[in-house]
Amino acid sequence: MKKIYSTFTICTSILLISCAQINKVIKPTEKTVVVPAAAPIGGSTWKLNYISGPRITFEGLYPNKIPTINFDTTKSIVTGNTGCNTFNGIYAIKGDSLHFKPLATTLMACMDGGKGEQVFLNIIEKVSNYKLEKDTLWFKMGSVNMMRFIRQ
């Protein structure tokens, strides 16, 4: 009986000591920060400063208000402004792949910003991937840069 008790005591002691050391090894420090994979584009307003395609100047497309976009990376929700109307919707990111579900927009009359709004919405539907370079966010169709946003 003493042998079983001694063996049990030794095994229990070894188990407790090893568990205590594991806690010391994986215990996070005060400097440990957990960042979601898609966080770099979230938490900021991105302002459009280039759009591909139209033969109208950027200022001609957006004479009054320049489009913006915001990403809520915790809920995969996108919101913003088309240059006239506000929009919201759902997006999906996997690696550098980026896709938007159909966006809901308000229906205000767009006197000067109507052309730009249509260009913005048509291109954003076709975006297939993105590239982030410091404070510049590119929306792309394959290898072609279609929209460029600057972090505000």
- Which tokens hold the place of 75? 């809920």
Identify the weakest region by mean pLDDT among 28-32, 75-79, 104-108: 28-32
The answer to whether residue 133 scores a pLDDT higher than 70 is yes
Question: Residue 56's pLDDT is what?
Answer: 86
C-beta atoms surrounding 78 within 10 Å: 20
Distance CA 66, CA 15 (A): 63
All domains in the chain, ordered by first residue? 39-151 (2.40.128.270)
pTM of model > 0.75: no
Q: What mean pLDDT is reported for the chain?
A: 83
pLDDT in tens, 93-116: 999 999 999 999 999 988 775 789
